[in-house]
Structure 1
Amino acid sequence: MTCKRTKVSFQKRDDSSSSHHCCVPQCTVSARCNSSVSFFTFPKDSELHRRWVINIRRVNFLTTNTRVCSRHFLSEDVIEPPTPAGRRRLKKGAVPVLFEWNNFSLPAPRPGVWERTERPNTEAMNDPSVELDCPPDHDYCNSTEPAALDMSLDHNEELSVEIARLRNQIEEITISSKFCLERFAGSDDDIRFFTRFASHAHLMAFWKQIEPATRKIIRVTRARSVAKTDEVSHTGNATVLQPIDEFFLFMNFLSLGLMQKDLAHRFKIHQSTVSRIINTWANFLYTVLGAVGIWLDEETVKSHMPEVFQGYSDTQIILDCTEIRCQTPSSLLLQSEVFSNYKSHCTFKGLIGMAPHGAVTFVSSLYEGAISDKEILKQSGIVAILNPSMAIMVDKGFLVEDCVPCKVHIPTFLCKRAQLSEPEVRKTQSIARLRVHVEQLIRRVKEHKLFSTVIPLSLTGSINQLYTVACLLVNCQNGPLVKAWATNG
């Protein structure tokens, strides 16, 4: 008797992160909540890799971070570690075979052709007292019946394989037709288009930071106007989409400015559900991102100061105002308050500030478009966090020297003179070259196409949250404003 040696592959679980999720459809296992479950990467062997893909029904959605949890392997295929601190391994050739759609069990082995074929009882044939219906000297079945059965079984097996292939194809088509983040995970270009994040890795890194807080998200429901005095439910109504797909929907709305009806068709949900998801995530991200301090102290700003700011090394922040067009209200009084002479349109106006190295360090609330830049600066609260050792850089329209307790870098005015002196021209040009970066920052904010449209009055209640979230996301979505600053930022 020969003993067959079983080779063991050193394919091991990746315990370096607690953010792994099982990629098998209908499996919700996460390393964060299931410390006893192991996660295995796909094998490098092409044939074994192909068998894994076919079995888990995931063909076009694999990345280097894709994992399969140990629940989908037979217990004899998983080798337990010799010590508690060790890692589980898979036997060579192990394939995931246990899934939700087969109730995590394998079908009983199919009996062979010989076992399935009904045969006459040999004892009865040898018994002379038993009368046989067929003549004993003719037996035409023994030679033809097995062949016919084999052909029939082969045909059935071919049909079974074809059915399995078609089912997998249907599964792939279903996933590819579903509008969700998973569908675009393999294309960074699509991720940039739909979410403004630089890549899928950037987006997932951000999601990893906010995912724990999503368990306590307070959802906006139809009954949000009713005060609940007893307790506040953190789970809300049963969700139609997964949390990460709700976030993807929200980013589609913010980044592309899509109408809610369009989003409802894309995600195959009701328009009112889209509205509730947008309001829920606007409030959630406004709270989560707003809780992170973005104001930097002087030492931090100076330690990241780009070389181009050597002539203005005391600059703490570069300030500018931006305006967002909104629908014209029917009230003449409201029209007069939100009408902007600069834009010749009704607008909302906000103050945004960036550190010299390009990070957003201040975002004000939105105000009515008729307000002046100076008044926004007073009401925004930034004056209270400035001190005499700092300096701010502003455009020539910002006449705020008498409002702030610090130095102001501002282009020189002509003041009824015919022309500026040579030093004044150089100063104006140098400030203009540096201030252009805050304009690039504002352009990044407005790359969220929602702010390129006319904001309907129906969004007035959440526009401040949407604008603030868009400004704060700029710090997470992209790299530095100038590539040369990458080593400094």
Structure 2
Amino acid sequence: MEESLPAEGSPPMEESLPAEGSPPMEESLPAFSFLAQLFQCSSSCVTNVLLTFIHVLHELWFKDIMTTVPSREKNLTSLPSSFQMYRNCRMIIDCTDVEIATPSSMDLQKHTYSKYRGMHSFKILLGVAPNAVITYCSKLYPGSVSDKAIVTKSGILEVFRSGDLILADKGFLIRDIVPEGVSVNIPPFLNHGRLTKSEVKLTKDIARTRIHVERANARLKEFKILRFIPHTLRSNADIVVQLCCALVNLQNPLSKEVAVNLDN
């Protein structure tokens, strides 16, 4: 059974940013003026066409395809060999940052500045299935928000059922908030400056499985539009990022083992 994700119109979290005045998109992006001259139309016409296509593709490739998370049983049909120890894994989760233009408001700067990254950013929570397909992409959150807060506010926990396993990094201290019967596996913390042999093995096992979500993050960052989000794109940043996630899934499989199976 596949679980539906929370509705797009869910209430915004407390840390969501208020709208900030900025010039129209066509006034700040030179490419729009070039396209307007090339096609002999106004810059606002170019903007409308671009945003229309972004919204249409988001509707087709994200909302129609990526608003359900494959069940644990579905994952088993394409489970890589590296997950034999984690056959009940439903999802590997991780957060990634997208740099944004520095807000003019000091109050907004406080919310968007990430001390860890040393920049103003938005954070996205990604969920990847064992076969390295992106199965969850949250809305964007200010860079100062913790991973645990994003997990709580995004609604991702609603898709998990008893018996599911979540693989994550050390920053996801979420065992106390997951639904009953759901397990969370993160690398062990150092105990008196060292790891035991069993902890070293566990760390290596988790690292081998987490490589999929790291590859998904890396491929997502290959889209130039996500290297830096100007003020003019901020109001559409959610759907742009989610559309890019859908486009990642349309590319060649991230898992070589899955790619070989498809070729055969």
The structure richer in strand per residue is 2
Shift in alpha-carbon separation, 1:264–1:444, aligned structure 2, 3 A: farther
**Structure 1 position 278, deviation (Å):** 1.8
1:182-205 deviations in whole A, cap 9, x for unaligned?
xxxxxxxxxxxxxxxxxxxxxxxx
The Cα shift of 1:404 comes to 0.9
CA gap 1:423/1:265 in 2 versus in 1, 3 angstroms:
farther
Is contact 2:89–2:130 with CA below 8 Å preserved after alignment? yes
Q: Any idea what SS the aligned residue of 1:261 has?
A: helix
Q: Distance in 1 between matches of 2:203 and 2:109?
A: 36
Greater shift after overlay, 309-318 or 287-296? 287-296
Following the alignment from structure 2 to structure 1, what is the Cα–Cα distance between the partners of residues 39 and 219? 27
* 8 A Cα contact 1:445 1:471, kept in partner: yes
Match of 1:313 in 2: 87
Q: Which residue is 2:225 aligned to?
A: 450
Relative distance call for 1:346 and 1:281 in structure 2 (3 A) is same
After superposition, residues 459-470 of structure 1 pair within 5 angstroms as 459-470=233-244
Residues of 1 paired with 2:33 and 2:237: CA distance?
Answer: 19
Identity %: 36
- What is the letter of the counterpart of residue 204 of structure 2? Q
SS in structure 2 at match of 1:461: helix
The match for 1:11 is none
**Paired residue secondary structure (2:171):** coil
**CA positional deviation for 1:486:** 2.1
Is residue 2:193 matched to residue 1:418? yes
Partner Cα separation in structure 2 for residue 487 and residue 425 of structure 1: 30
- Deviations 1:365-411 (CA, angstroms, capped at 9, x unpaired): 01111111001001111111111210010011111111112111110
Give the equivalent residue in structure 2 for 1:359. Answer: 133
CA distance in 1, matches of 2:169, 2:253: 22
Contact 1:357 1:488 in 2 (8 A): no
Q: CA deviation at 1:438?
A: 0.6
Distance 2:189 2:30 in 1: 43
The one-letter code matched in structure 1 to 2:203 is T
Question: Of the candidates 84, 103, 106, which is equivalent to residue 329 of structure 1?
Answer: 103
Query: Which of 373, 386, 392 is 2:166 aligned to?
Result: 392
Query: Which residue pairs with 2:49 in the alignment?
Result: 277
SS in 2 for 1:376: helix
Kindly state the Cα deviation for residue 297 of structure 1 after the two structures are TM-superposed.
1.3
SS at match of 1:347: strand
Cα distance in 2 for partners of 1:356, 1:301 equals 7
Match of 1:428 among 184, 203, 213: 203
TM-score normalised by length of structure 2: 0.82
Change (3 A) 1:418 1:486: same
TM-score normalized by the length of structure 1? 0.45
Aligned 8 A contact 2:72 2:89 in 1: no
Alignment of 1:34-49 (within 5 A): none
The answer as to whether partners of 1:316 and 1:390 remain within 8 angstroms in 2 is yes
Alignment of 1:218-367 (within 5 A): 259-264=31-36, 269-289=41-61, 290-292=63-65, 293-367=67-141
C-alpha displacement at 1:265, in angstroms?
Answer: 5.2
- Structure 1 pair 324–267 and aligned structure 2 pair: CA distance change class (3 A): farther
Q: Deviations over 1:298-333 (max 9, x none)?
A: 211111111111111111100000111111111111
* 2: CA distance, partners of 1:447 / 1:381: 27
Q: Distance in 1 between matches of 2:64 and 2:90?
A: 21
Letter of the aligned partner of 1:288 in structure 2? Answer: L
Q: Could you tell me how far 1:482 is from its partner in structure 2?
A: 2.3
Matches of 2:40 and 2:96, distance apart in 1: 35
Cα drift, residue 259 of structure 1: 3.7
Distance 2:257 2:134 in 1: 18
Distance 1:268 1:483, change over 3 A: farther
**1:480 and 2:253 matched:** yes
- The answer to whether the Cα contact below 8 Å between 1:258 and 1:450 also exists between their aligned partners in 2 is no
Q: Distance in 1 between matches of 2:200 and 2:102?
A: 41
Aligned counterparts of 1:443 and 1:262: Cα–Cα separation in 2 = 30
Q: Pick 1 or 2: higher relative contact order, CA cutoff 8 A, min separation 6.
A: 2
| 1:409 corresponds to | 185
Tell me, what secondary structure is at the counterpart of 1:396? coil
Q: 1:397 to 1:273 in 2, by over 3 A?
A: same
Structure 1 residue aligned with 2:25 = none
What are the within-5 Å matches in structure 2 for residues 3-402 of structure 1?
A: 259-264=31-36, 269-289=41-61, 290-292=63-65, 293-402=67-176
Structure having the higher Rg: 1
For residue 437 of structure 1, what is the aligned residue in structure 2?
Answer: 212
Q: Which residue identity lines up with residue 441 of structure 1 in the other structure?
A: A
Letter in 1 for 2:56: F
- Deviation of residue 465 (structure 1)? 0.9
Deviation at 1:430, TM superposition (A): 1.6
1:78-101 CA-partner distances (Å, limit 9, x unpaired)? xxxxxxxxxxxxxxxxxxxxxxxx
The C-alpha deviation readout for 1:273-304, integer Å capped at 9, x for no partner, is 22111211222222222122441012111111
Distance 1:273 1:333, change over 3 A: same
For 2:99 and 2:166, how far apart are their aligned partners in 1? 27
Q: Which runs of 5+ in 2 are unaligned?
A: 1-28
Amino acid at match of 2:107: L
**Structure 1 unaligned blocks of 5 or more:** 1-256
Return the alpha-carbon distance in structure 1 between the equivalents of residues 219 and 30 of structure 2: 18
Q: Is the 8 A contact 2:98 2:123 kept in 1?
A: yes
